[in-house]
Chain A
């Protein structure tokens, strides 16, 4: 028991480190942990506990840079705008509290659903998977149709297609290596474009309200939490569907334009996806995240192992939420004292340097193009979610079995 708690703490420390530094992901550390586990004499389940704890902690803590710095990753991409909006209203700490609430609420809900869902997950997966491209096409069609005017619909379609084309070139054309492509892609579409808009509008960060006693209205947020959890479970089981697509689904189901609901839903999606990516190891025998691949390499996940992993996830997430609130409060207290525009420029510069370091000159071209496309929603007054075409369009082609044909058609 003590060993498990010790490994939870190792995972917690790793998750805080990867979560706080934009562009560093759990997947950067898991190969090291797998290597250590394979060369040591201790049971591999302990290292799996550390990996699970790190993944859950990372998921929660990554909302700090996405809220205060506008630096997103796949899971937090869509949360940048509403969190940033709250930050500019002096409610950055509220965004942190809402994401902590969304993460923990969704974790408890999805942990409770593991047993009943496990009974028919495999069958459901087999039924849903062949129809996935139709589900995604419907989601996109609804997303675009929700624009209020014909011009808006046309602009949304153009943005979706431009983002989709960029996604295909960045993710499938062998220009960049696997997941590293996501960093310049999402930072451009959802990060730099938002920061540039803030700079152009001469925004500044007001003094942040760090009142931790104002209650979160639980009842009104239950719908966002439940739909977020449901969408997260779906995205945790089905390959290729990320938290952002899950969030789009929840937005359609809840029909909510409220930033608070949005943040709870997106953090709920992210957290239940993280948990179910491990559950999928037992339920359908397939890993659904880089961390789950690492766990699958170390142990065969059966009911006993799953109980230990889920228990560790709950403990780690509880501790991570406390760290999240503490660090979020420190960040909120000091943000107002910093020169916002200079900080935006510094963040943009660091994203450019990181993209160049991780992906070279191609990463810079992807970042530049993604930023240009990311500026279009604000300029044409349509929703930024259409930029998720960068991941949704390649997914649709994959599930429809057309990816190879499209790449051949493009001569790639």
Chain B
């Protein structure tokens, strides 16, 4: 009888406590904002934004600077400092969807959202585009593609990679700056690469701006 009473009392207290914490969590939840509406008035406030990664830059100290854009058309910088970055278990790629909770800060006239802990970042990976479907009309857009290296050529100090996927081929141009620190590539390696489409010599090609935008996902 005592045990039954204790069980019921403990259960009731557990449920009351869980409900109180849930209600508290809902109340203190940072508001989800459209990026275009985030301005200087939000500096120092904690908010949540979500958007597509349209730019990424790796600092030599290991920091990662991302820019995300949402449907409102607004763009915001997300600095992921090296200490936090070392805890990331997954690769962040261009065009992935990133949800960030953080404090708004202004740095060099630019609004930034600073995630403090790993739980502040949620990454939703997006699938690569099948490049056989890309046409000249797509020139100027940012895409993520995946394929096997069919050929490797030099273009000045840079590289031209010919990718193959399901019988279709795509040229990937990597200017010299984008090849610095790049792992050694071999014909037959499967790679995933993000870049901007352009028309060169009447052919569609992908231009990669950062070495981190190319990743080997299956070595030959």
Contacts and interface: CB of A to CB of B under 8 A. Distances in A.
B28 A365 contact: no
A239 interface: yes
A29 B3 CA distance: 43
A380 B17 CA distance: 20
Contacts of B21: 166, 169-170, 173, 175, 362, 365-366, 369
A365 B3 contact: no
A375 B10 contact: yes
Contacts of A362: 21, 24
B83 A369 contact: no
Interface in A205-231: none
A70 interface: no
A286 B117 CA distance: 16
Contact of A372 (B13, B22, B25): B13
A411 B24 CA distance: 12
B110 interface: no
A162 B89 contact: no
A292 to B, nearest CB: 10
Is the interface on chain A under 10, 10 to 19, 20 to 34, or 35 or more residues? 35 or more
A162 B14 contact: yes
Contacts of A166: 14, 17-18, 21
Given A174-B30, A239-B89, A373-B10, A169 B3 contact: no
Contacts of B105: none
Contact of A174 (B3, B22, B87, B101): B101
Interface in A354-374: 362, 365-366, 368-373
Given A170-B21, A362-B21, A380-B7, A175 B28 contact: yes
Contacts of A173: 21, 25, 29
A175 B18 contact: no
A169 B89 contact: no
Contacts of B25: 169, 173-175, 412
Interface string B1-15: 001001101111110
Contact of A412 (B12, B18, B26, B87): B26
A365 B14 contact: no
Given A372-B14, A376-B11, A365 B117 contact: no
Contacts of B26: 411-412
A169 B7 contact: no
B124 interface: yes
Contact of B17 (A129, A287, A368): A368
B146 to A, nearest CB: 18
A293 B86 contact: yes
A366 B26 CA distance: 15
Interface in A57-72: none
Which applies to chain A's interface (DSSP): helix, strand, loop or mixed?
helix
Nearest to A292: B86
A376 B86 contact: no
B153 interface: no
A89 interface: no
Given A174-B30, A404-B122, A293 B13 contact: no
A369 B117 CA distance: 25
Interface in B98-121: 99, 101, 117, 119
A232 to B, nearest CB: 20
Contacts of A169: 18, 21-22, 25
A410 B117 contact: no
Given A174-B101, A404-B124, A372 B7 contact: no
B10 A376 contact: yes
A4 B179 CA distance: 42
Interface in A142-159: none
B129 interface: no
Contacts of A293: 83, 86-87
B72 interface: no
Given A369-B14, A369-B17, A376-B7, A404 B99 contact: yes
Given A174-B30, A174-B101, A362-B21, A369 B13 contact: yes
A293 B86 CA distance: 8
A2 interface: no
Contacts of A379: 3, 6-7, 10
Contacts of B9: 372
A305 interface: no
Given A169-B25, A369-B18, 6 more contacts: A169-B22, A286-B87, A368-B13, A369-B14, A372-B10, A373-B14
Pairs of residues from A and B, 3 with the lowest C-beta to C-beta distance, nearest first: A369-B17, A372-B13, A173-B25
5 contacts: A172-B119, A173-B29, A372-B9, A379-B3, A380-B7
